[in-house]
Amino acid sequence: MRKGYLNIVILAVIVAVFLLAFTVLPKQQMPVLTKDDVEKLLLKDLLEQNIPVSEVRVLNLNKAPEGDVWTATVIIARNQHSRCPTVEKWDYSDALRFKYRPEMLINDCNQRASIALREEALINSGKSTRFAAITGANDAFGCAFENKKYDSAAAEYCPPLDETAFNAFATDLPLNAWIVYWTGANQTAFIALSPQNEMLKTS
């Protein structure tokens, strides 16, 4: 009887020590993810899906005020330097769990009434007479820039573009202008369009 009672006491002490240790010892914290971490996870997931992609842009990546929910918009572009690119948008409601809603934004070469994406600027400028004057226009390499912005990301996106020539062309344009650069068969051309698809200037 005493032996059984002693065993119960010992067991109770062991449980109490375990509970005390669990309460007092610091709990292991989950690593805090940064915006760069989440963006890398999204890009890794896209790569693993093995879908045909020319370019991916992660936009509007934000964390909810509470919890670990990240939302994002991902632009998937194909033939992004041609006069007829296509664009798909994936809206992520929970980026860490890869929950998204796909939407096709551009799947034809029809002219747009307004310009919100650089691919739309490429399509619309590709309808202009200035573009048609480029030798080998159908195979020309194009880049489009919003708000006259040229930086390191722009240089990576459009290696053939000369920054000095870009800045000279952009000097007298409004800040919201779209600037499209085309090069083909040793010829280059700049075409500036407004967001409402008005021709502002060509070179």
From CA 149, how far away is CA 152, in angstroms rounded?
A: 10
The answer as to whether 30 is a domain residue is no
Q: What is the pLDDT of residue 159?
A: 93
For residue 151, the model assigns a pLDDT of 77
In this structure, the answer to whether residues 96 and 135 fall within a common structural domain is no
pLDDT score recorded for residue 154: 83
- For 39, the domain range is 35-106
Asked whether residue 193 is domain-assigned, the answer is yes
Structure tokens at 180: 């499209």
**Quick one: 134 and 198 in the same domain?**
yes
pLDDT tens-digit series, residues 97-154: 888 899 999 999 999 999 999 999 999 999 999 999 888 888 899 999 997 777 778 8
Number of domains making up the chain: 2
Q: Which of 34-38, 108-112, 158-162 has the lowest mean pLDDT?
A: 34-38
Return the number of other C-beta atoms located less than 10 Å from residue 143's C-beta: 21
Q: Which amino acid is at 84?
A: C
Query: Which residues, in sequence order, are CB contacts of 72 under 8 Å at separation 6+?
Result: 38, 39, 42, 58, 59, 60, 61, 62, 91, 92, 95
The average pLDDT across 182-187 equals: 89
Q: Looking at the structure, do residues 124 and 92 belong to the same domain, yes or no?
A: no
Q: Are residues 102 and 122 in the same domain?
A: no
Are residues 102 and 124 both part of a single domain? no
Q: Note whether 196 and 122 are same-domain residues.
A: yes
Does 130 lie in the same domain as 86?
no
Q: C-alpha 194: how far from its chain's center?
A: 23
Domain membership flag for residue 158: yes
Examine the domain organization and report whether 61 and 123 are in the same domain.
no
Identity of the amino acid at 118: R
Are residues 99 and 56 located together in one domain of the fold? yes
Q: What is the pTM of this model?
A: 0.78
Q: How many CB atoms lie within 10 A of CB 117?
A: 20
Shared domain check, 143 and 68: no
- List, as own/partner pairs, every contact residues 185-193 make where C-beta atoms lie below 8 angstroms and the sequence separation is at least 24, other chains included: 185/134, 185/135, 185/136, 185/140, 186/135, 187/134, 187/135, 189/130, 189/131, 189/133, 189/134, 190/165, 190/166, 191/125, 191/128, 191/130, 191/131, 193/115, 193/121, 193/124, 193/125
- Distance (Å, whole) CA 107 – CA 32: 38
